[in-house]
Amino acid sequence: MELIKVENVTKVYKTGTVETQALRGISLTIQSGEFLALVGPSGSGKTTLLQLLGCLDQPSSGKIYLNNKDVSQLNRNQRADIRRGTIGFIFQFFALIPTLTAYENVEMPLLLNGLSSTERRQRVTELLETVRMSNRAHYRPDQLSGGEQQRVAVARALATHPLLILADEPTANLDTENGKQVMEVMQRLNQETGTTFIFATHDPRLFGYAQRTIVLRDGQIVENSHASSTQK
Amino acid sequence: MHSIIKIAYRNLGRNRRRSFFSALALALGLALLLLMAAFLRGEINSALDYTIRLKSGHLQIRAPSYDETKTSLKWDDLIQDPQSLIAQVAALPQVKDATPRLYATAILVSQNKSIGVQVFGIDPQATANQPYRDGIVSGQFLTPDDREGLLLGQPLAQKLGLQTGNRVNLSVNTANGDVNEQVFIVRGIFSTGTNAFDNATILLPLAKAQAITQSDNHASVIFILLKDSRYTDQVANALANLPYKILTWQTMNDMIIQTEDMANAYMMIFYLIVLAITASVIVNTLIMAVFERMREIGILAAIGWRAREILLLFLAETALLTIIGIGLGLIIGLMIITYFSNHGFYIGNMGISGYLIGNMIYTELTFSDTLKLSLITLLITLIAGLYPAILAARLEPVNALHGSQ
């Protein structure tokens, strides 16, 4: 089933009088349940594309359909509502709310969705279990390692049963072992729950996790390839 | 909503010292306002209380042509045979006491000094004159038939270097426009605790005052004290059919009442200035928080918080900080006010005639003042807090995630 359809999308940033063309006519489709890597050097447009797919920003031109709905022209609040129910984010920096415990960070998106406390407890416990963080549930972010924080972020991204999880350089600040753990958790969740994962990276070690790799350069797709059987 | 408040509360705990000092600034501002309000109310109430007890009474009966400012002694301007009128007034159940008073202007001469004074001819036995009796600091009170004794206010005695038993020359204006002169003996010295009164008043027995001013069986006013000031209008109505002028304490003391209104208006401006200063401290704290937590705001937006919810988060932080500040302010303010309500606040010789103020002001804080000031504080700070909250809510998620505006 087609989850995302991007049609000839461009994004131009203006800084004063200087215009930067971050995306130059991107078109692609992504099927539900994919585990997809966006690859490319710094400045190639990976993050911009993720932000557009994640409804954090609007394209300068072109259309983006999420679940057959045109999301390219929605206003701020409409985009917030789409994000709330449909999309989970994992950032390069370990984007947890520092004043909340691991448990509360995972619980946060659920609070906005009006779940009962029992339902929330059940869901948060299950998610922390999935990312193997149950024993650290009541620690605050500053008491957790980078890898642990990122696993909590993965759990939070999954909390509302999103259709799509977007991860921007999720392992960039982690050592190899922790990076591997985070990627494996994401991969396992993709397989178990069928949630679509799109992650941006320029780390060649991660390419192997992806079922499909889209290579960007200077705001354009230069390669779109399915993984070979040598997948890690 | 609950989660917003929880996060707001914890956010304040992130920089405890900064939050504490912001709340403290607000607390001190509020404490100052409460003290000012309590001081003002204490002062006005004390002025009214002194003036009613010593000068105006709750009601006065005067001849229609009597002019207070001229202290006229012409018989036409006075009340003839005050005792019969008093019997009528005293029969009303709301009246505590009614007593005749005769006012005259005079010059007091002792050795080389002379001072203009107001003579109060009073009935020494009347309950209404108890404040003078209680105020005796040396010597004794007057008796009705004393023909050569007078009482002096303490500061006046000090100014003239007089003591109990000393002789003093008094020149008094009379009913027919002459001046009568007589040597009196200082029977006693009184202090009512209000310099403006004690500085310019001497007391004579009514009979002697009538004799020396040649006003025979006349009084300037009938001074009426009621059992409660609430009865004022009731009694005034009951006396309305008399061929005299009835004045209530409100009309006689309109200067105090106007002063109170004016003071309240000034105070409101003062409150707003103080609150604007304290609110700016809170706003500054929150603006810093917005800039420090920009990325976090981006995360909240990314997980689906709407602008409104981010706005509410920052408003909740403002509200919590303000509530803590108000709580602290109430504690500090009430402690200071309690101290001054018991020990008083010495202001010295501040009164003017017609506006008697005690030398000590005892602060009086009412529940309505406390509530009003606390609510104004909350409201102003919340309005001021809208700015950082809007700043946070307006951040574009993408920019916020990058930590830029």
B180 — alpha (psi -120 to 50), left (phi > 0) or beta?
beta
- Contact (Cβ atoms closer than 8 angstroms) between residue B274 and residue B18: no
pLDDT of amino acid A228: 58
B-facing residues of A in 90-109 (CB < 8 A) are 91, 93, 95-100, 108-109
Q: Which chain B residues are within 8 Å of A114, Cβ to Cβ?
A: none
Cβ separation B302–A111 shorter than 8 A: no
CB contact, 8 Å: B397 with chain A?
yes
HSE-up of A151 (CA within 13 Å, CB side)?
A: 25
Name the residue among A116, A113, A106 with its Cα closest to residue A80.
A113
B306 interface with A at CB cutoff 8 Å: yes
Q: CB-based contact (8 Å) between B11 and chain A?
A: yes
Cα B8 to Cα A53, B209, B316, distances in angstroms: 30, 75, 6
Structure tokens at B213: 């001013």
- Asked if B128 is an interface residue toward chain A (Cβ–Cβ < 8 A), one would say no
**Range of A80's domain?**
34-60+75-226
pLDDT tens digit sequence for A178-227:
888 888 888 988 998 889 999 998 888 888 888 899 999 999 998 888 87
Name the token pair of A166: 């977007």
* Chosen from A55, A76, A152, A154 to mutate, greatest number of chain B CBs within 10 A: A76
Whether A68 is in a domain gets the answer no
Query: Measured between alpha carbons, how far is B79 from B353 in angstroms, rounded to an integer?
Result: 24
Give the pLDDT score at B140: 93
Tell which A residues from 30 to 89 touch B, by Cβ distance under 8 Å.
51, 54, 56-57, 76-77, 80-81, 83-85, 88-89
Q: Are A97 and B299 a contacting pair at CB < 8 A?
A: yes
From B14, which residue of chain A is nearest by alpha-carbon distance? A99
ipTM of the complex: 0.85
Cβ–Cβ contact A120 with B under 8 A: no
A84 in Cβ contact with A55 (< 8 Å):
no
Which pLDDT band holds residue A231 (cuts at 50, 70, 90)? very low
Concatenated DSSP letters of B294-338: HHHHHHHHHTT--HHHHHHHHHHHHHHHHHHHHHHHHHHHHHHHH
Q: Which two tokens stand for residue B108?
A: 């007091």
Residue entry with tokens 């008491």:
A143
In-domain check, residue A156: yes
**Chain A residues whose beta carbon lies within 8 Å of the beta carbon of residue B310:** none
Distance CA A86, CA A59 (A): 19
**Angstrom distance (rounded) from CA B76 to CA A17:** 93
Please name the residues in contact with B366: beta carbons below 8 A apart, sequence gap of 6 or more: B41
| pLDDT higher than 60, residue A232 | no
Name the token pair of B238: 């009951």
Concatenated DSSP letters for A92-139?
SS----TTS-HHHHHHHHHHHTT--HHHHHHHHHHHHHHTT-GGGTT-
Task: Specify the pLDDT at position B232.
Answer: 92
Q: Of A158, A157, A121, A117, nearest to A138 (Cα)?
A: A121
φ, ψ of residue B71 to 5 degrees: the values are 45, 50
Question: Who's near B65: CB < 8 A, 6+ residues apart?
Answer: B72, B76, B77
Residue A19 lies in a domain: no
The pLDDT value recorded for residue B404 is: 62
Using a CB-CB distance cutoff of 8 angstroms, which residues of chain A are in contact with residue B396?
Answer: 57
Sort out which chain A residues have CB atoms less than 8 A from B299's CB and list them.
Answer: 89, 91, 95-97
Q: How far A213 CA sits from the closest chain B CA (Å)?
A: 24
Tell me the one-letter amino acid at A8: N
Q: Is residue A55 part of a domain?
A: yes
Query: pLDDT tens across A140-178, in order?
Result: 999 998 888 988 988 898 888 888 999 988 888 878 888
| A218 belongs to a structural domain | yes
Q: What is the pLDDT of residue A12?
A: 92
Q: Does A137 touch chain B (CB under 8 A)?
A: no
**Nearest chain B Cα distance for residue A77, angstroms:** 6
User: Is A85 close to B304, i.e. CB distance below 8 A?
Assistant: yes
Domain layout of chain B by residue ranges: 2-51+256-401, 64-243
- pLDDT tens-digit series, residues B59-96: 999 999 888 888 888 888 999 999 989 998 989 999 99
Cβ burial of A37 (10 Å; 0-12, 13-18, 19+) is buried
Which amino acid type is present at position A185? V
Taking alpha carbons only, the member of A195, A205, A140 closest to residue A174 is A205
Q: Is residue A67 part of a domain?
A: no
Q: How many domains does chain A have?
A: 1
Digit-coded pLDDT (tens) for A92-135:
876 788 888 999 889 888 877 777 889 999 999 999 988 888 99
Give the separation between CA B117 and CA B105, rounded to whole angstroms. Answer: 6
Only one residue has tokens 């229609």, namely: B64
**Residue ranges of chain B with per-residue pLDDT less than 50:** none
Residue of B nearest to A81 (CA): B304
A51-103: per-residue pLDDT in tens? Answer: 999 999 899 999 999 988 999 888 888 888 888 888 988 888 767 888 889 99
> Distance between CA atoms of B356 and B195, rounded to whole angstroms?
8
CB contacts, 8 Å: B302 with chain A: 54, 56, 83, 89, 91, 95
Q: What is the CATH number of the domain that holds A149?
A: 3.40.50.300
Q: Which two tokens stand for residue B342?
A: 């018991």
Q: What is the pLDDT of residue A117?
A: 85
